[in-house]
């Protein structure tokens, strides 16, 4: 080393060089550790990024989301282990390699409980993902309105949302994520994905198909939107002969005839968000649009009516009296893909007023009514619709409904909902139990 004049300078050079080598080794170690930490973090908080048509539906579980063999640059995105509620959409999250570079084998049938295995091969490397479809289901998601939504070209897409219930934990609305967008200036078919997860990591995912129809091809409902008002459902041998309100009861087979007709005619079931936008004049609704409601959350409807709605895939509303001791149990135990639970008040389904049928609502101030409505919302986890107890309503009650943020308030006044109606006092079409099928068809035409 000619550049160093003394042995002392040579020793110093060797010492400095050794320190630099140590620093480089430490930097390399820190970099490797950082990669590992990032990989683990991505595993714990992985997000969905890629969807496949394999299976029916799904959402990413927290935990082990980025996985690779040691020393490998090939890794899974999202969770290595997933748990899905029955009938969810499985969403494939893929790998860190381009889709065309990876061979994926295996399918997930979310209509059948079981454990499914997917393998991903890239060159000589293979990774595995396991997806468990749970029976039950422990988590139920109801897409509000029709799962296949129609929008007229150029009019706004109204996001209707969903109601998610865990049979143990209750309302999971706070966990819902919505992905997807709809460009109503361009006719075509779009998808909106809804994802929710409970505290155990069980996922529930659903997809709404949104079809933007060319303006010249969209057939709108011109005669108004019937909102059907049912009450109770009974089965053969259970006719309530001693009930003074016997006309409120419908035989389950008669209800089935109604549902079959609604399906056969190609009915569309708007959400309350869509109905409110229709009333405001913001959108058209498709021909044969109709809304089904059942008042009081009566046991016969819950036990016999809901299975029929599920059989025919017809969405409906159950208006619940939220102060009933079993109100929360009803919402959890009877959660369904085809039922939204809405408010029939918290404790206003009682006498004490001087209007109409004498319901107490006419004796309350706007503040008292708002407080009641908000208590009901906290029990039910929803606030889109409200059915006035006994059908009684006043201007004070209308004001309270608006202040409570309710989109649609329903009376028992007869008629179809029309553009320009007051959304706080909308009419309904009563369906009595003794109405034959022909009379029913005439009532909704």
Q: Please write the tens of the pLDDT for every residue from 377-410.
A: 999 999 999 999 999 999 999 999 999 999 999 9
**Is 28 or 265 the better-scoring residue by pLDDT?**
265
Pair 100, 147 in one domain: no
Q: What is the pLDDT, as a whole number, of residue 435? A: 87
Q: What is the pLDDT, as a whole number, of residue 136? A: 81
* pLDDT tens track for 95-154: 999 989 999 999 999 999 999 999 999 999 999 999 999 998 899 999 999 999 999 999
146 vs 229, 266, 380, CA distance in Å?
A: 19, 12, 21
* pLDDT tens track for 221-245: 999 999 999 999 999 988 887 888 8
Mean pLDDT, range 59-63, rounded to an integer: 36
Mean pLDDT, range 261-287, rounded to an integer: 98
On whether residue 388 sits in a domain, the answer given is yes
Helix (H, G, I), strand (E, B) or coil at 252: helix
Question: What's the domain count of the chain?
Answer: 3
β-partners of residue 209 are: 148, 191
Q: Is residue 62 scored above 50 in pLDDT?
A: no
Pair 29, 97 in one domain: yes
Query: Per residue, what are the HEC states of 58-113?
Result: CCCCCCCCCEECCCCCCEECCCCEEEEECCCCCCCCCECCCHHHCEEECCCCCCCC
For 74-107, letters b (16+ CB in 10 Å) and e give bbbbbbbebbbbbbbbbbbbbbebeeeebebeee
First-last CA distance in the chain: 102
Pair 126, 96 in one domain: yes
Q: What percent of the chain is predicted at pLDDT more than 70?
A: 84
Within 8 A by CB and 6+ apart from 140, the residues are: 85, 164, 165, 167, 204, 335, 336, 337
Pair 400, 435 in one domain: yes
On whether residue 263 sits in a domain, the answer given is yes
On whether residue 3 sits in a domain, the answer given is no
Least-confidence region, from 131-140, 180-189, 301-310:
131-140
Q: Is residue 70 scored above 80 in pLDDT?
A: no
On whether residue 200 sits in a domain, the answer given is yes
The enclosing domain of 186 has a CATH number of 2.60.40.10
Pair 244, 326 in one domain: yes
Pair 82, 194 in one domain: no
Helix (H, G, I), strand (E, B) or coil at 138: coil
Pair 398, 388 in one domain: yes
On whether residue 344 sits in a domain, the answer given is yes
On whether residue 8 sits in a domain, the answer given is no
Q: What is the pLDDT, as a whole number, of residue 359? A: 97
Q: Is residue 193 scored above 70 in pLDDT?
A: yes
Q: What is the pLDDT, as a whole number, of residue 71? A: 54
Predicted confidence band at 67 (pLDDT cuts at 50, 70, 90)?
low
Predicted confidence band at 322 (pLDDT cuts at 50, 70, 90)?
very high
On whether residue 377 sits in a domain, the answer given is yes
The enclosing domain of 271 has a CATH number of 3.20.20.370
Pair 310, 429 in one domain: yes
Q: Is residue 61 scored above 50 in pLDDT?
A: no
Of how many residues is the chain composed?
445
- Domain end residue (candidates: 137, 165, 194): 137
Pair 70, 203 in one domain: no
pTM above threshold 0.85: no
Q: Is residue 13 scored above 60 in pLDDT?
A: no
- Domain end residue (candidates: 213, 248, 264): 213
Pair 298, 371 in one domain: yes
Pair 393, 256 in one domain: yes
Pair 189, 259 in one domain: no
On whether residue 220 sits in a domain, the answer given is no
Domain that residue 299 falls in: 227-444
- Domain end residue (candidates: 186, 213, 240): 213
Q: Is residue 31 scored above 80 in pLDDT?
A: no
Q: What is the pLDDT, as a whole number, of residue 245? A: 84
């Amino acid at each position: 080393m000619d550049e160093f004049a003394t042995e002392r300078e040579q020793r110093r050079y060797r010492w400095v060089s050794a320190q630099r080598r140590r620093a480089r080794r430490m930097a390399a170690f820190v970099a490797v550790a950082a990669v590992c930490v990032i990989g683990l973090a991505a595993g714990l908080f992985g997000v969905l990024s890629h969807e496949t048509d394999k299976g029916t539906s799904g959402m990413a579980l927290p935990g082990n989301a980025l996985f690779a063999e040691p020393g490998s640059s090939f890794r899974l995105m999202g969770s290595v282990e997933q748990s899905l509620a029955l009938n969810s959409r499985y969403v494939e999250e893929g790998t860190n390699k381009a889709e065309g570079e990876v061979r994926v084998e295996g399918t997930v049938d979310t209509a059948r409980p079981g454990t499914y295995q997917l393998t991903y091969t890239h060159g000589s490397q293979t990774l595995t993902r396991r997806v468990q479809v749970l029976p039950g289901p422990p988590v139920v998601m109801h897409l509000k309105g029709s799962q296949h939504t129609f929008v007229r070209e150029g009019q706004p897409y109204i996001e209707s949302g969903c109601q998610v219930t865990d049979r143990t934990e209750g309302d999971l609305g706070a966990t819902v994520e919505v992905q997807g967008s709809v460009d109503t200036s361009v006719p075509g078919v779009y998808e909106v994905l809804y994802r929710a997860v409970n505290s155990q990591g069980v996922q529930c995912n659903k997809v709404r198909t949104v079809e933007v129809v060319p303006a010249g091809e969209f057939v709108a409902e011109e005669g108004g939107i019937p909102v059907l008002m049912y009450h109770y459902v009974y089965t053969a041998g259970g006719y309530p002969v001693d009930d003074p309100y016997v006309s409120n009861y419908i035989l389950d087979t008669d209800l089935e005839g109604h549902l079959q007709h609604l399906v056969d005619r190609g009915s569309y079931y708007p959400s309350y968000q869509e109905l409110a936008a229709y009333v405001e004049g913001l959108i058209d609704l498709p021909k044969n649009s109709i809304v089904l409601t059942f008042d009081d959350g009566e046991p016969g409807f819950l036990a016999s009516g809901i299975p029929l709605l599920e059989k025919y895939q017809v969405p409906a509303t159950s208006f619940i009296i939220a102060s009933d001791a079993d109100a929360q149990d009803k919402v959890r135990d009877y959660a369904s893909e085809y039922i939204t639970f809405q408010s029939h008040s918290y404790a206003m389904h009682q006498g004490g007023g001087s209007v109409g049928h004498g319901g107490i609502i006419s004796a309350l101030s706007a503040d008292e009514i708002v407080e009641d409505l908000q208590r009901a919302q906290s029990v039910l986890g929803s606030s889109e619709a409200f059915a006035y107890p006994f059908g009684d309503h006043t201007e004070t009650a209308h004001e309270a409904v608006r202040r409570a943020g309710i989109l649609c308030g329903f009376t028992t006044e007869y008629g179809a909902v029309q553009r320009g109606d007051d959304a706080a006092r909308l009419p309904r079409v009563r369906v009595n139990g003794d109405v034959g099928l022909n009379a029913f068809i005439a009532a909704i035409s």
